[in-house]
Amino acid sequence: MMIKPDGVRRGLVGEIVQRLEAKGLTLKAMKLMHIDTDLAGQHYREHRDKPFYGELIQFITSGPVVAMVVQGREATSVVRLLMGATDPAKAAPGTIRGDLALDLTQNVVHGSDSPESAASEIQLYFTSEELV
Ligand code: IDP
Ligand code: MG
C-alpha cells in the first residue's frame, strides 16, 4: 500500500495508518520516499497506454510518498475495501477515499490489486532486509 503525494502533503499519514492499524492489519515495512520517473513507470506499467498516464506519472513523482507493507488476513482485499473505489466521488463514506479525497488522480492512496501484484510491488519498493 502507498500514501500518495497528496496524502503526505495534506498531513493524512497518521489518519491513514490509524485506520489500517485499527482494522487489525500489521505494518511489516514503512518508508517515506521519493518515486523517480523510472520507478513510477515500472509501478504503473499496466497503465502506460491510458490517456491519464502522463498526469499519473507527474503526480506520483510530485513529492514524497509513504510506501508500506501491511500483513493480515485477506490483506490485499481488506486494504482495497478500506481504500474505497478508485474515483473518490464514487467511494463509499467510511472508506479512505470516500472520506478524504475528491479528485480522481489525486486519490490519496494506492493499494495492490491482488496478492501477486502485491508481491511484485513489494519487491519494487523494499529489500528483504527492510521487511520485519
Ligand atoms: P486503483 O488505484 O484503484 O487500483 P487504477 O485503475 O489502477 O486504480 O488506476 C491507478 C491510478 O490512476 C488511480 O488510483 C488514479 O490515481 C489514476 N486514475 C485512474 N483512472 C483515472 C482516470 O480516468 N483519470 C485520471 N486518473 C485516473
Ligand atoms: Mg490499480
CATH number at residue 99: 3.30.70.141
Candidates 105, 85, 77, 94; CA nearest to 7 is 105
Q: What's this model's pTM, rounded to 2 decimal places?
A: 0.98
pLDDT at position 73:
98
The residue among 58, 59, 97 whose CA lies nearest residue 80 is 97
pLDDT range class, residue 54, cuts 50, 70, 90: very high
Q: Is residue 44 part of a domain?
A: no
Query: Is residue 57 in some structural domain?
Result: no
Residue 4 binned pLDDT confidence (cut-offs 50, 70, 90): very high
29: left (phi over 0), alpha (psi -120 to 50) or beta: beta
Ligand 1 atom closest to 106 (CA)? 16
pLDDT at 32: 98
Residue 58 lies in a domain: no
Q: What is the pLDDT of residue 101?
A: 98
Structure confidence at residue 110 as a pLDDT band (50, 70, 90): very high
Contact 104 CB / ligand 1 (< 6 Å)? yes
8-29: pLDDT as tens digits: 999 999 999 999 999 999 999 9
Say if 47 falls within a structural domain: no
Question: Which protein residue has the closest C-alpha to ligand 1 atom 17?
Answer: 105
Give CA angle at 101 (83, 2), nearest 5°.
45
Q: Is 86 in the pocket of ligand 1 (CB under 6 A)?
A: yes
Domain that includes residue 99, residue range = 2-34+64-130
Domain total of the chain: 1
Provide the β-strand partners of residue 70.
27
Helices (H), 45-127: 53-60, 75-83, 96-100, 115-125
Active site residues: 110
